Structure 1
Amino acid sequence: MSANNFFNEQKEQSLIKSTIVSKYFIVWAKIIINTQKKYPRNAQKVAYIDLFAGPGRYKDGTISTPTKILNSAVQDDDLRTRLVTIFNDKNEDNSKELENTINEIENIKTLTYQPKVWNEEVGQNIVSKFENMSLIPTLFFVDPWGYKGLSLRLVNSVVKDWGCDAIFFFNYNRINMGLNNRNVKAHMDALFGSDRCDELRTNLQNKTPEEKELLIIEELCNALKEYGSRYVLPFRFRDAKGKRTSHHLIFVSKNFKGYETMKGIMAKESTSNEEGVPSFEYDPADFLPQQMLLFKLSRSLNTLKDDICKNFSGKTMTMKEVYESHNVDTPFISKNYKDALKELYDDKKITAISKTGKPPKKGTFGDDILVTFN
Structure 2
Amino acid sequence: MNNSSFFDEQKEQSLVKARIVEKYFWAWAKVIIGVLKRQEQQQRLSKKLKLAYIDLFAGPGRYQDGSESTPLRVLETAIQETDFRERLITLFNDVDTNNTQSLQNNINLIPNINQLKIQPAIRNKEVGEEIVKSFEDFKLYPTLFFVDPWGYKGLSLRLINSVVKNWGCDCIFFFNYNRINMGLGNDAVKSHMDALFGEDRAKQLRQKLQPMTSKDREIAIVEEICEALKEMGGEYVLPFRFRHENGNRTSHHLIFVSKHVKGYEIMKEIMAKESSTTEQGVPSFEYNPATKFQPLLFELSRPLDELTDMLLDEFAGQTMTMIEVYQRHHIGKRYIKKNYKDALLKLEVQGKIRAEPSKRKKNTFADKVNVTFPPKP
Q: TM-score range by the shorter chain?
A: over 0.9
Equivalent residue, structure 1, for 2:21: 21
Equivalent residue, structure 2, for 1:300: 303
Equivalent residue, structure 1, for 2:348: 345
Q: Residue type of the partner of 2:269?
A: G
The offset of 1:325, in angstroms, is 0.7
Secondary structure in 1 aligned to 2:290?
Answer: helix
Distance in structure 2 (CA, Å) of the matches to 1:56 and 1:283: 25
Q: Residue type of the partner of 1:272?
A: T
Equivalent residue, structure 2, for 1:246: 251
Distance in structure 2 (CA, Å) of the matches to 1:93 and 1:168: 23
Secondary structure in 2 aligned to 1:361?
Answer: coil
Could you tell me whether the CA contact under 8 Å between 2:277 and 2:298 is conserved in 1?
A: no
Aligned length: 369
Secondary structure in 1 aligned to 2:3?
Answer: coil
The offset of 1:299, in angstroms, is 5.0
The offset of 1:298, in angstroms, is 3.1
Equivalent residue, structure 1, for 2:234: 229
Distance in structure 2 (CA, Å) of the matches to 1:77 and 1:60: 31
The offset of 1:2, in angstroms, is 2.9
Secondary structure in 2 aligned to 1:5?
Answer: helix
Distance in structure 1 (CA, Å) of the matches to 2:17 and 2:270: 11
Q: Residue type of the partner of 2:164?
A: V
Distance in structure 2 (CA, Å) of the matches to 1:360 and 1:279: 31
Distance in structure 2 (CA, Å) of the matches to 1:91 and 1:297: 47
Q: Residue type of the partner of 2:348?
A: Y
Equivalent residue, structure 1, for 2:317: 314
Q: Residue type of the partner of 1:16?
A: V
Equivalent residue, structure 1, for 2:37: 37
Task: Kindly indicate whether residue 371 of structure 2 is the aligned counterpart of residue 371 of structure 1.
Answer: yes
Report Cα offsets for 1:160-199 as digits up to 9, x if no partner: 1010000000000000000010110110011101111111
More off after superposition, 297-306 vs 239-248: 297-306
- Change in Cα spacing, 1:158 to 1:306, as seen in structure 2 (3 Å) is same
Distance in structure 2 (CA, Å) of the matches to 1:128 and 1:262: 28
Distance in structure 1 (CA, Å) of the matches to 2:275 and 2:84: 28
Identity %: 60
More off after superposition, 105-114 vs 166-175: 105-114
Task: Kindly indicate whether residue 162 of structure 2 is the aligned counterpart of residue 157 of structure 1.
Answer: yes
The offset of 1:292, in angstroms, is 3.8
TM-score (norm. length: structure 1): 0.96
Equivalent residue, structure 1, for 2:86: 81
The offset of 1:295, in angstroms, is 7.0
Aligned to 2:331, which of 328, 332, 339?
A: 328
- Structure 2, unaligned runs of 5 or more: none
Q: Residue type of the partner of 1:244?
A: R
Q: Residue type of the partner of 1:114?
A: Q
RMSD: 1.3
TM-score (norm. length: structure 2): 0.96
Distance in structure 2 (CA, Å) of the matches to 1:159 and 1:52: 17
- Structure 1, unaligned runs of 5 or more: none
Equivalent residue, structure 1, for 2:56: 51
Report Cα offsets for 1:272-318 as digits up to 9, x if no partner: 01000000000011122xx3445788351010011111111111111
Could you tell me whether the CA contact under 8 Å between 1:352 and 1:359 is conserved in 2?
A: no
- Change in Cα spacing, 1:69 to 1:82, as seen in structure 2 (3 Å) is same
Distance in structure 2 (CA, Å) of the matches to 1:118 and 1:2: 20
Aligned to 2:108, which of 103, 110, 121?
A: 103
Could you tell me whether the CA contact under 8 Å between 1:264 and 1:333 is conserved in 2?
A: yes
